[in-house]
Amino acid sequence: MVRVFAHRGSSRQAVENTLEAFRLARRQAADGVELDTRLSADGVLLVHHDATWSSRLPDAGGHLGRAVSETPAPDRPPSVPTLAEVLDACAGMIVNVELKTDGLVAQGSDELAGVREAAARDLLARALVELLAERGGRDEVLVSSFDAAALDLVAARNPACRLGWLTEDRLEPTVLAQLAGRGHVAVHPHWMVTDAAVVADAHRFGLAVHAWTVDDPATLAHLAALGVDAIITNVPEVALRSLGRSRPG
Protein backbone atom coordinates (compact mmCIF):
# COMPACT_ATOMS: atom_id res chain seq x y z
CA MET A 1 0.00 0.00 0.00
CA VAL A 2 1.26 3.45 -0.94
CA ARG A 3 1.00 5.75 2.05
CA VAL A 4 -0.27 9.32 1.80
CA PHE A 5 1.44 12.09 3.76
CA ALA A 6 -0.32 15.44 3.91
CA HIS A 7 2.17 18.17 2.99
CA ARG A 8 2.07 20.76 5.80
CA GLY A 9 -1.27 19.21 6.62
CA SER A 10 -4.21 19.39 4.26
CA SER A 11 -2.74 22.63 2.97
CA ARG A 12 -5.09 23.37 0.09
CA GLN A 13 -8.11 23.47 2.40
CA ALA A 14 -6.52 25.06 5.47
CA VAL A 15 -3.57 27.34 6.23
CA GLU A 16 -0.41 25.25 5.92
CA ASN A 17 1.43 24.04 9.04
CA THR A 18 -1.45 24.91 11.38
CA LEU A 19 -3.29 22.64 13.77
CA GLU A 20 -6.39 23.07 11.61
CA ALA A 21 -4.51 21.70 8.58
CA PHE A 22 -3.12 18.72 10.48
CA ARG A 23 -6.46 17.85 12.10
CA LEU A 24 -8.15 18.06 8.71
CA ALA A 25 -5.56 15.65 7.28
CA ARG A 26 -6.42 13.22 10.06
CA ARG A 27 -10.14 13.49 9.32
CA GLN A 28 -9.40 12.88 5.65
CA ALA A 29 -7.63 9.61 6.61
CA ALA A 30 -4.10 10.56 5.56
CA ASP A 31 -1.53 8.06 6.83
CA GLY A 32 0.75 10.83 8.01
CA VAL A 33 1.70 14.46 7.76
CA GLU A 34 4.83 16.28 6.63
CA LEU A 35 5.79 19.49 8.39
CA ASP A 36 8.61 22.00 8.81
CA THR A 37 10.17 22.81 12.16
CA ARG A 38 12.43 25.63 13.31
CA LEU A 39 13.92 26.62 16.63
CA SER A 40 12.64 29.74 18.37
CA ALA A 41 14.91 32.19 20.19
CA ASP A 42 14.14 30.45 23.47
CA GLY A 43 14.73 26.91 22.20
CA VAL A 44 11.17 25.81 21.38
CA LEU A 45 10.48 23.83 18.21
CA LEU A 46 7.90 25.72 16.15
CA VAL A 47 6.13 24.52 13.01
CA HIS A 48 6.69 27.00 10.18
CA HIS A 49 8.24 26.75 6.72
CA ASP A 50 10.04 30.04 6.11
CA ALA A 51 13.02 31.44 8.00
CA THR A 52 10.98 34.60 8.63
CA TRP A 53 7.31 34.97 9.53
CA SER A 54 5.42 34.64 6.28
CA SER A 55 2.50 36.51 4.78
CA ARG A 56 0.91 33.08 4.28
CA LEU A 57 -0.03 33.27 7.95
CA PRO A 58 -3.45 34.84 8.58
CA ASP A 59 -2.19 36.53 11.74
CA ALA A 60 1.42 37.44 10.92
CA GLY A 61 0.68 41.13 11.47
CA GLY A 62 3.66 42.95 12.91
CA HIS A 63 5.71 39.75 12.84
CA LEU A 64 6.25 39.95 9.06
CA GLY A 65 9.91 39.77 8.12
CA ARG A 66 11.07 38.93 11.63
CA ALA A 67 13.26 35.84 11.85
CA VAL A 68 11.76 32.79 13.53
CA SER A 69 15.13 32.16 15.20
CA GLU A 70 14.99 35.61 16.82
CA THR A 71 11.41 35.25 18.10
CA PRO A 72 10.70 33.80 21.57
CA ALA A 73 7.97 31.18 21.39
CA PRO A 74 5.41 33.20 23.41
CA ASP A 75 5.74 36.04 20.88
CA ARG A 76 5.04 33.93 17.77
CA PRO A 77 1.90 34.48 15.67
CA PRO A 78 -1.03 32.71 17.38
CA SER A 79 -1.70 30.34 14.47
CA VAL A 80 1.82 28.84 14.65
CA PRO A 81 1.85 25.62 16.70
CA THR A 82 4.71 24.07 18.59
CA LEU A 83 5.94 20.72 17.36
CA ALA A 84 4.68 19.16 20.60
CA GLU A 85 1.17 20.45 19.89
CA VAL A 86 1.25 18.98 16.38
CA LEU A 87 2.47 15.62 17.66
CA ASP A 88 -0.46 15.58 20.08
CA ALA A 89 -2.90 16.44 17.28
CA CYS A 90 -1.42 13.72 15.03
CA ALA A 91 -1.21 10.92 17.61
CA GLY A 92 -1.30 7.58 15.82
CA MET A 93 -0.21 9.07 12.49
CA ILE A 94 3.25 9.14 10.94
CA VAL A 95 4.79 12.58 11.41
CA ASN A 96 7.54 13.50 8.97
CA VAL A 97 9.46 16.32 10.68
CA GLU A 98 11.60 18.30 8.26
CA LEU A 99 14.41 20.15 10.01
CA LYS A 100 14.82 23.63 8.54
CA THR A 101 18.33 25.00 8.99
CA ASP A 102 18.40 28.08 6.78
CA GLY A 103 18.23 31.26 8.84
CA LEU A 104 19.39 29.53 12.03
CA VAL A 105 21.36 32.61 13.03
CA ALA A 106 21.36 36.24 11.98
CA GLN A 107 23.25 36.90 8.79
CA GLY A 108 26.82 38.04 9.30
CA SER A 109 30.15 38.05 7.55
CA ASP A 110 32.51 37.74 10.53
CA GLU A 111 34.74 34.72 11.05
CA LEU A 112 32.48 33.36 13.82
CA ALA A 113 29.37 33.10 11.65
CA GLY A 114 30.10 29.48 10.73
CA VAL A 115 30.74 28.56 14.34
CA ARG A 116 27.44 30.09 15.44
CA GLU A 117 25.57 28.30 12.65
CA ALA A 118 27.09 24.94 13.61
CA ALA A 119 26.15 25.53 17.25
CA ALA A 120 22.60 26.48 16.27
CA ARG A 121 22.27 23.37 14.11
CA ASP A 122 23.35 21.26 17.08
CA LEU A 123 20.78 23.02 19.29
CA LEU A 124 18.06 22.22 16.76
CA ALA A 125 19.01 18.54 16.64
CA ARG A 126 19.26 18.34 20.42
CA ALA A 127 15.89 20.03 20.91
CA LEU A 128 14.21 17.48 18.64
CA VAL A 129 15.84 14.45 20.23
CA GLU A 130 15.08 15.71 23.73
CA LEU A 131 11.44 16.46 22.87
CA LEU A 132 10.89 12.98 21.48
CA ALA A 133 12.55 11.45 24.55
CA GLU A 134 10.38 13.54 26.89
CA ARG A 135 7.32 12.18 25.08
CA GLY A 136 8.41 8.63 25.89
CA GLY A 137 8.88 7.47 22.31
CA ARG A 138 5.13 7.32 21.74
CA ASP A 139 5.28 9.27 18.45
CA GLU A 140 5.93 7.68 15.05
CA VAL A 141 8.38 10.25 13.69
CA LEU A 142 10.54 10.32 10.59
CA VAL A 143 13.14 13.10 10.55
CA SER A 144 14.06 14.55 7.17
CA SER A 145 16.17 17.44 5.91
CA PHE A 146 18.09 18.78 2.96
CA ASP A 147 20.88 19.36 5.52
CA ALA A 148 22.96 16.20 5.92
CA ALA A 149 24.87 17.65 8.87
CA ALA A 150 21.64 18.19 10.79
CA LEU A 151 20.56 14.59 10.21
CA ASP A 152 23.99 13.34 11.31
CA LEU A 153 23.63 15.33 14.56
CA VAL A 154 20.24 13.75 15.22
CA ALA A 155 21.67 10.29 14.60
CA ALA A 156 24.63 10.98 16.89
CA ARG A 157 22.29 11.92 19.75
CA ASN A 158 19.88 9.06 19.14
CA PRO A 159 20.82 6.36 16.60
CA ALA A 160 17.27 4.98 16.84
CA CYS A 161 15.79 8.07 15.16
CA ARG A 162 14.45 7.27 11.70
CA LEU A 163 16.03 9.51 9.05
CA GLY A 164 15.10 10.43 5.48
CA TRP A 165 17.27 12.40 3.07
CA LEU A 166 15.48 15.15 1.11
CA THR A 167 16.72 16.01 -2.36
CA GLU A 168 15.81 17.61 -5.66
CA ASP A 169 18.55 15.66 -7.45
CA ARG A 170 18.41 12.23 -8.99
CA LEU A 171 19.56 9.61 -6.52
CA GLU A 172 22.43 7.53 -7.85
CA PRO A 173 23.28 4.10 -6.40
CA THR A 174 26.50 5.38 -4.81
CA VAL A 175 24.55 8.04 -2.89
CA LEU A 176 21.90 5.55 -1.84
CA ALA A 177 24.58 3.20 -0.53
CA GLN A 178 26.11 6.03 1.52
CA LEU A 179 22.74 6.99 2.98
CA ALA A 180 21.97 3.40 3.96
CA GLY A 181 25.41 3.16 5.55
CA ARG A 182 24.68 6.25 7.64
CA GLY A 183 21.52 4.70 9.04
CA HIS A 184 18.88 6.34 6.88
CA VAL A 185 15.65 4.42 6.40
CA ALA A 186 14.14 6.53 3.59
CA VAL A 187 14.86 8.93 0.77
CA HIS A 188 12.61 11.82 -0.22
CA PRO A 189 13.26 12.69 -3.86
CA HIS A 190 11.29 15.25 -5.83
CA TRP A 191 8.74 13.38 -7.91
CA MET A 192 10.28 14.62 -11.17
CA VAL A 193 13.54 12.75 -10.48
CA THR A 194 11.78 9.60 -9.30
CA ASP A 195 11.65 6.75 -11.79
CA ALA A 196 11.60 2.96 -11.72
CA ALA A 197 15.39 2.69 -11.50
CA VAL A 198 15.58 5.04 -8.50
CA VAL A 199 12.85 3.13 -6.69
CA ALA A 200 14.46 -0.23 -7.42
CA ASP A 201 17.93 0.95 -6.35
CA ALA A 202 16.59 2.52 -3.15
CA HIS A 203 14.73 -0.65 -2.24
CA ARG A 204 17.86 -2.69 -2.94
CA PHE A 205 19.60 -0.71 -0.20
CA GLY A 206 16.64 -1.04 2.17
CA LEU A 207 15.47 2.55 1.74
CA ALA A 208 11.83 3.54 1.43
CA VAL A 209 10.96 6.10 -1.25
CA HIS A 210 8.72 9.04 -0.34
CA ALA A 211 8.16 11.25 -3.39
CA TRP A 212 7.17 14.92 -3.07
CA THR A 213 5.05 17.00 -3.69
CA VAL A 214 2.33 15.53 -5.92
CA ASP A 215 -1.26 16.72 -6.39
CA ASP A 216 -2.12 15.61 -9.94
CA PRO A 217 -4.17 12.37 -10.01
CA ALA A 218 -2.39 10.96 -13.08
CA THR A 219 1.03 11.61 -11.55
CA LEU A 220 -0.09 10.10 -8.25
CA ALA A 221 -1.16 6.93 -10.05
CA HIS A 222 2.08 6.84 -12.07
CA LEU A 223 4.25 7.05 -8.94
CA ALA A 224 2.19 4.36 -7.24
CA ALA A 225 2.77 2.11 -10.25
CA LEU A 226 6.53 2.70 -9.88
CA GLY A 227 6.35 1.22 -6.40
CA VAL A 228 7.05 4.26 -4.22
CA ASP A 229 6.30 3.73 -0.55
CA ALA A 230 4.67 7.08 0.16
CA ILE A 231 3.54 10.20 -1.65
CA ILE A 232 3.63 13.65 -0.08
CA THR A 233 0.70 15.76 -1.26
CA ASN A 234 -1.17 18.98 -0.53
CA VAL A 235 -4.47 17.25 -1.26
CA PRO A 236 -4.70 14.00 0.72
CA GLU A 237 -8.34 13.40 -0.23
CA VAL A 238 -7.46 13.56 -3.93
CA ALA A 239 -4.45 11.31 -3.40
CA LEU A 240 -6.41 8.68 -1.50
CA ARG A 241 -9.11 8.69 -4.15
CA SER A 242 -6.52 8.40 -6.96
CA LEU A 243 -4.96 5.43 -5.19
CA GLY A 244 -8.32 3.71 -4.72
CA ARG A 245 -8.28 4.27 -0.97
CA SER A 246 -11.27 6.53 -0.47
CA ARG A 247 -13.46 5.62 2.47
CA PRO A 248 -16.98 4.44 1.60
CA GLY A 249 -19.59 7.15 1.91
Can you say whether the dihedral through the CA atoms of 189, 151, 8, 21 is positive or negative? positive
- Amino acid 178 reads Q
pTM, 2 dp: 0.94
The pLDDT value given to residue 130:
98
Domain extent listing, the chain: 3-242
Provide the phi-psi class of 36: left if phi over 0, else alpha when psi is between -120 and 50, else beta. Answer: beta
Length of the chain, in residues: 249
Q: How many alpha carbons lie under 13 Å from residue 81 in its C-beta half-sphere?
A: 21
Percent of the chain with pLDDT strictly greater than 70:
94
Q: In the predicted model, what is the mean pLDDT of residues 8-26?
A: 98
Q: From 93, 92, 94, 159, select the one nearest 125 (Cα to Cα).
A: 159
Q: Which CATH superfamily is domain 3-242 in?
A: Phosphatidylinositol (PI) phosphodiesterase (3.20.20.190)
Taking only the tens place, the pLDDT of each residue in 40-75 is 999 999 999 999 998 889 898 888 889 999 999 999
Asked if residue 121 lies in contact with residue 149, where contact means CB atoms within 8 angstroms, the answer is yes
The pLDDT value given to residue 55:
84
Tell me how far apart the alpha carbons of residues 63 and 233 are, in angstroms, rounded to a whole number.
Answer: 28
Fill in the DSSP letter of residue 67: B
The better pLDDT of the pair 110, 137 is held by 137
- Amino acid 66 reads R
Asked if residue 31 lies in contact with residue 230, where contact means CB atoms within 8 angstroms, the answer is yes
Tell me how far apart the alpha carbons of residues 166 and 181 are, in angstroms, rounded to a whole number.
Answer: 16
Q: From 247, 238, 249, 240, select the one nearest 13 (Cα to Cα).
A: 238
Residues linked to residue 186 through DSSP beta bridges, in sequence order: 164, 208
Q: In the predicted model, what is the mean pLDDT of residues 198-202?
A: 98
Asked if residue 68 lies in contact with residue 46, where contact means CB atoms within 8 angstroms, the answer is yes
Which contacts of 137-142 are long-range, i.e. CB under 8 A and separated by 24 or more positions? 138/91, 139/87, 139/91, 139/95, 140/32, 140/92, 140/93, 140/94, 140/95, 141/87, 141/94, 141/95, 141/96, 141/97, 142/32, 142/94, 142/95, 142/96, 142/97, 142/185, 142/186
